Structure 1
Amino acid sequence: MDIFHAAVAVDPTRPLLTFYDDATGERTELSGTTLDNWVAKTANLLVDGCGLGPGDVAAILLPPHWQTAAVLLGAWSAGLSVAYTAPALGTVTGPAEVAFVAADLVGRAPDAGDRFVLGLAPIALPMRDVPAGFVDYAAEVRGHGDHFRPYAPVRGTDPATAEGTTHEELCRVARESAAMHRLGPTDRVLVDAAEAVHPLKWLLTPLAAGASIVLCAGLDPAAVGRRIEAERITRVLS
């Protein structure tokens, strides 16, 4: 996706996505280069591992998380259409060739030829017990290459969502949202994962501005001021 690669290009070494889970104390920071590697690995998993590409659908039932960003951006890089539902919003419906589901939501997983489960553990640790009928994403994706080159470029007119929204349309909405929030490439944006559940808000809007993201799950209201100071936040996305 163009807006992702443009955001990485601002400075590949800077923190592009920092993830907090205040319930567990986790803090994971990914530079543009590191996130790009995870995105490439995911795209290679889909293309080389699953034999998928343009015209195929990835069903994604995951909360806002840095690994969710890798899955979404990897699917779009590989030319797949995404059927996304945040866990709080329901269940993914409709046909899909591949599914990515959080470990605590496998009972709501849609049918798909390939199904990956994500434990969403710190530093992407592999799962100890993998549910029957699923493959551990964190363990499987590591074996794929850090660089991805599609067999055919993804076109702006190709569908980015299962509903038919194109890449051009999705990126345009993200850029409009970034402009509305007055975001720029020097901004470091705090996002409450509980309030911004859709990736258009917590992922694509900051990326469209080239901004750096600090995504916080289980955000402790008492810690917001300290988080803003410690992470040098310039904008709060609400």
Structure 2
Amino acid sequence: MTVPADLLAAVVRRDGAAPLLTHYDDATGERVELSGATTANWVAKTANLLQDEFDVGPGGRVALALPVHWQTAAVLLAVWSCGAAVVDTAAEDDGHLADVDLVLAEQGRLAAIEEQGVEELLGLSLHPLGLGMTGYTGDARDFALEVRAHGDHFQPYQQPDPAAPGLLLAGLELTLGGLVDAARTLADRLGVVTGDRVMVDERAAAEAGPAAWLLAPLAAGASIVLCRNPASAQLQRRAETEGVTATLGLGLDGIRELGRPAAS
């Protein structure tokens, strides 16, 4: 049985130079494109940071208070590479954070989380160029500054156990191996195929969860176009420009919508 890190490794072996994750944010006008190799580099650096600085490993629980974002994809894969479980904190009143080993949060949520007495906290600016936080005076360590010092290759102290917890989300519990099984099942059920370029907006991604928006395309050998704060008037042209072949949760002319039967 495989674990999520194996899905990314397979992508890099197949064609590490090809675009894997393209991220748009229409609120800021940013576009960031990561190849499979660049994504793996971010994942490795983040996993080394988590393991070396915060002792994240098998049996660990890492909470994410992050939006759907390219950096969130790297963090998710890094936590799973360490063999730990991801705990999602979608609600603002994250009362269960005392039960986790580390919290990674976007800068705007740090103050509320700090009030809960969380000791291990990493803040993310989510800057398009990966720059650090500005105007922040709290005790959280800055992800962007910390991650730069860590290596481009990751070797876990203990190999991830496919039977260990991998995702704890709104009552859903999946093991690391179960995440891979779910991703493959979803890819088959949705109709994601090798070479697909899948466009998904943050609403659909948040509703579907990371097994669908991130791992299913990886499992199928597809790439992802992720749209945050999407301007609906731009999506059709963007899909054409990016060579999108399928969408998740979006209806666009001439492009098949995953999980929907083809029009007769």
TM score, norm. by length of structure 2: 0.85
Q: What is the aligned partner in structure 1 of residue 104 from structure 2?
A: 100
Q: Is the 8 A contact 1:64 1:202 kept in 2?
A: no
Q: What is the aligned partner in structure 2 of residue 159 from structure 1?
A: 165
Aligned-pair CA distance for 1:92: 6.5
Match 1:225 to one of 226, 232, 236: 236
Aligned-pair CA distance for 1:132: 1.1
Q: How does 1:162-201 map to 2 (within 5 A)?
A: 162=168, 164-197=173-206, 198-201=209-212
Q: Are 1:148 and 2:154 matched, yes or no? A: yes
Give me the whole-angstrom Cα distance separating, in 2, the residues matched to 1:33 and 1:111. Answer: 37
With 100-109 and 213-222 compared, the bigger mean Cα shift is at 100-109
SS of 2:204 mapped into structure 1: coil
Q: Is the 8 A contact 2:58 2:161 kept in 1?
A: no
User: Can you list the C-alpha shifts for 1:21-80, whole angstroms capped at 9, x where unaligned?
Assistant: 011110000011111011001110011112221111101010000000111110110111
Aligned-pair CA distance for 1:181: 1.6
Unmatched segments (≥5 aa) in structure 2: 250-264
Give me the whole-angstrom Cα distance separating, in 1, the residues matched to 2:89 and 2:19. Answer: 27
Question: For the aligned residues, what is the CA RMSD?
Answer: 1.7
Note closer, same or farther for the CA distance 1:203–1:90 as it changes in structure 2 (3 Å cut). Answer: farther
Give me the whole-angstrom Cα distance separating, in 1, the residues matched to 2:216 and 2:242. Answer: 19
Aligned-pair CA distance for 1:122: 1.1
Give me the whole-angstrom Cα distance separating, in 2, the residues matched to 1:83 and 1:44. Answer: 19
Q: What is the aligned partner in structure 1 of residue 259 from structure 2?
A: none
Match 2:69 to one of 65, 73, 76: 65
Q: Is the 8 A contact 2:47 2:81 kept in 1?
A: yes
Aligned-pair CA distance for 1:111: 4.7
Q: What is the aligned partner in structure 2 of residue 17 from structure 1?
A: 21
SS of 1:33 mapped into structure 2: helix
User: Can you list the C-alpha shifts for 1:2-28, whole angstroms capped at 9, x where unaligned?
Assistant: 222222322100010000001111000
Note closer, same or farther for the CA distance 1:175–1:90 as it changes in structure 2 (3 Å cut). Answer: farther
Give me the whole-angstrom Cα distance separating, in 2, the residues matched to 1:85 and 1:177. Answer: 23
SS of 1:195 mapped into structure 2: helix
SS of 1:44 mapped into structure 2: helix
Query: Taking every aligned residue pair, what percent have the same amino acid on both sides?
Result: 44
Q: Is the 8 A contact 1:20 1:216 kept in 2?
A: yes
Give me the whole-angstrom Cα distance separating, in 2, the residues matched to 1:205 and 1:20. Answer: 20
Q: Is the 8 A contact 2:58 2:158 kept in 1?
A: no
Note closer, same or farther for the CA distance 1:210–1:112 as it changes in structure 2 (3 Å cut). Answer: farther
Q: What is the aligned partner in structure 2 of residue 205 from structure 1?
A: 216
Unmatched segments (≥5 aa) in structure 1: none
TM score, norm. by length of structure 1: 0.93
